[in-house]
Copies of this chain bind each other. A is one copy, B any other.
Amino acid sequence: MRGRPKTFDRDEALERALEVFWQKGYAATAIGDLTSAMRIGRQSLYDTFGDKHELYLEALARYKEMRIRTTRDMLEAPGSPLANLRAFFAMWREEATEATSGCMMVNSSTEVGAVDDAAARIIEKALARLEELMREALERARDAGELSELASPRALARLIVTSANGIAARSRLGMTVEEVDDVIETLTAVVTGASQAAVAR
């Protein structure tokens, strides 16, 4: 290897770019915001990551991987599948009340989803994967005897992921614990079968 070696870590810089895009979105993020957060020069950014849009897509893909990994690790942890589901809800609750970043994929959907096909494809695949992980977790809980029959694990998984997306959107404005808890407790009751209502007659 000849020449001056790279002094910054590509992954670290990408991670810092991710945080800026996650918080501020695509359009509102200026190159200067990125270089200062990433602590690299402007030219290094273009040399290393292409342009702003490429960097955004790479950050979004990284976010997607992170989100899928943590979800899978949580839901597929050893032990009680139902306890894992509860732990997942708890994590989600913490995130919604302690931060206003929301979910980068939800933010991206609403901001650029309709015009950025590459971003849309990343998000669509990620949401499908998250639904799959959730469905499998529900089925494991059922197979372990912690839940009785589920009418449609897939449909229930979709409701859960959709609700998570709704919470994420809302948390951009700031959410109280009470607001999140209402949603989570109701969903938990649905999953565990405590009926919220019963058809009369």
The interface of chain A, by Cβ under 8 A from chain B, is 23, 25, 27-28, 100, 102, 106-107, 109-111, 113-115, 120, 123-124, 127, 142, 145-152, 154-156, 158-159, 161-170, 172-174, 179, 182-183, 185-187, 189-201
Known: A166-B169, A196-B191. A186 touches B25 (CB 8 A): no
Q: Which B residue sits closest to A104, measured CB to CB? A: B110
> Bound complex: CA of A167 vs CA of B159, how far in Å?
9
Copy number in the complex reads 2
B193 touches A147 (CB 8 A): no
> Bound complex: CA of A154 vs CA of B186, how far in Å?
10
A150 touches B113 (CB 8 A): no
A191 touches B197 (CB 8 A): yes
B199 touches A151 (CB 8 A): no
A189 touches B110 (CB 8 A): no
B162 touches A166 (CB 8 A): yes
In the assembled complex, the CB of A134 is this many whole angstroms from the nearest CB of chain B, namely: 12
Determine the chain B residues whose CB is within 8 A of the CB of A164 once the complex forms.
166
Determine the chain B residues whose CB is within 8 A of the CB of A25 once the complex forms.
110-111
> Bound complex: CA of A86 vs CA of B170, how far in Å?
24
Known: A23-B114, A123-B173, A173-B120. A196 touches B109 (CB 8 A): no
> Bound complex: CA of A115 vs CA of B25, how far in Å?
12
Known: A110-B169, A114-B100, A191-B196. A159 touches B148 (CB 8 A): no
